[in-house]
Chain A
């Protein structure tokens, strides 16, 4: 006997993401979900970003890691509020689900911040599938990964609203086709901006910071 069901498996996450989105909207907080494979440079980029932001935009950070508090410690040194999520407690998850973000937000005074940055678990596959109620998603791809990564992981590059090509200070030492990497990102997602950055030289930071500030300002106004 066949029983019709037709239920979306990720409905529970979707529903909670929608609730998060609602509460972020009420508080006027711009939420940015930053993803990449392990070690692409998310934490280093965020530390540098937070330093440059200074007191200009009240910011909090949620950082996901399967274990350790290393990234949280590095981020906390910039003086912003940091909430560390060890996904160990959530079954060693490979991503931050909407329920995890909701939990983490209980430890943050959302009324006092305009920008909430989430550093997702290092993984180019799973985090792409799970909405958390964020306004924008970004992906970091370092020049030590292959130029074809966007084509191999299309979902990640498709769901993102911007991409960062990181560690470009290493380019002189590598046989890496930066233009091809950018082209591949835009093959998967033709309209997103790609920021080429180096945390070592600071190259590219102005454009990225401007993008971020504009996003925060637009959210505040709406």
Chain B
């Protein structure tokens, strides 16, 4: 439900990443990494992105979303588990003492500019 605000932030980040020496830049795609533990609905984010890119150098750009799994490190046995089905326990020793290593990312990794 906060995807509109997120889409606006993404546009700001992408715009500020455009090299200053390009006269009429056009962004073809924005590459985004989204952890599976974020409160983001990709479909809704894509929709908002289309809306907020209107009349910007990002108009028509593709939003590529790479979903990242939730990975946690066990603080008891040091085993790394991929968390699925909301079961936050170590796959090996069942301990609940986990440190989340990834899964909450929401990062613009790169943008692609048209070459013309």
Binding site for B on A (CB under 8 A): 1-10, 12, 91, 93-95, 123, 125-126, 128-130, 150-152, 154-156, 158, 186-191
Report chain A residues within 8 Å CB of B100.
158
Q: In the complex the two chains form, is A6's CB within 8 Å of B107's CB?
A: yes
B106 at interface (Cβ–Cβ under 8 A)? yes
B6 at interface (Cβ–Cβ under 8 A)? yes
The B28-75 residues at the A interface (CB cut-off 8 A) are: 32, 37-40
Report chain B residues within 8 Å CB of A2.
110-113
Q: In the complex the two chains form, is A94's CB within 8 Å of B1's CB?
A: yes
Q: In the complex the two chains form, is A150's CB within 8 Å of B86's CB?
A: yes
User: Looking across the interface, which residue of chain A has its beta carbon closest to that of B83?
Assistant: A154
Give the docked Cα–Cα distance between A4 and B19 (Å): 11
Q: In the complex the two chains form, is B86's CB within 8 Å of A5's CB?
A: no
Give the docked Cα–Cα distance between A130 and B13 (Å): 19
Give the docked Cα–Cα distance between A126 and B44 (Å): 13
Report chain B residues within 8 Å CB of A94.
1-2
Binding site for A on B (CB under 8 A): 1-2, 4-6, 9-10, 13-14, 17-19, 32, 37-40, 85-89, 96-97, 100, 104-113, 115
CB contact between B37 and one of A93, A154, A189 (< 8 Å): that residue? A154
B22 → chain A, closest Cβ, in Å? 9
Give the docked Cα–Cα distance between A22 and B69 (Å): 32
CB contact between B17 and one of A3, A10, A155 (< 8 Å): that residue? A3
Give the dominant DSSP class at A's interface: mixed
Q: In the complex the two chains form, is A9's CB within 8 Å of B13's CB?
A: yes
Give the docked Cα–Cα distance between A95 and B40 (Å): 13
Q: In the complex the two chains form, is A7's CB within 8 Å of B5's CB?
A: no
Q: In the complex the two chains form, is A125's CB within 8 Å of B39's CB?
A: yes
Q: In the complex the two chains form, is B86's CB within 8 Å of A188's CB?
A: yes
CB contact between A5 and one of B85, B87, B88, B109 (< 8 Å): that residue? B109
CB contact between B107 and one of A9, A126, A158, A189 (< 8 Å): that residue? A9
CB contact between B112 and one of A1, A6, A91, A154 (< 8 Å): that residue? A1
A92 → chain B, closest Cβ, in Å? 9
CB contact between A8 and one of B5, B37, B107 (< 8 Å): that residue? B107
A155 → chain B, closest Cβ, in Å? 5
Report chain B residues within 8 Å CB of A130.
2
Q: In the complex the two chains form, is A91's CB within 8 Å of B5's CB?
A: yes
Q: In the complex the two chains form, is A5's CB within 8 Å of B9's CB?
A: no
Give the docked Cα–Cα distance between A10 and B87 (Å): 26
Give the docked Cα–Cα distance between A184 and B88 (Å): 10
CB contact between A7 and one of B2, B13, B87 (< 8 Å): that residue? B13
Q: In the complex the two chains form, is A6's CB within 8 Å of B18's CB?
A: no
Q: In the complex the two chains form, is B37's CB within 8 Å of A4's CB?
A: no
4 smallest CB-CB distances across A and B, nearest first, come from A190-B96, A154-B86, A94-B1, A151-B86
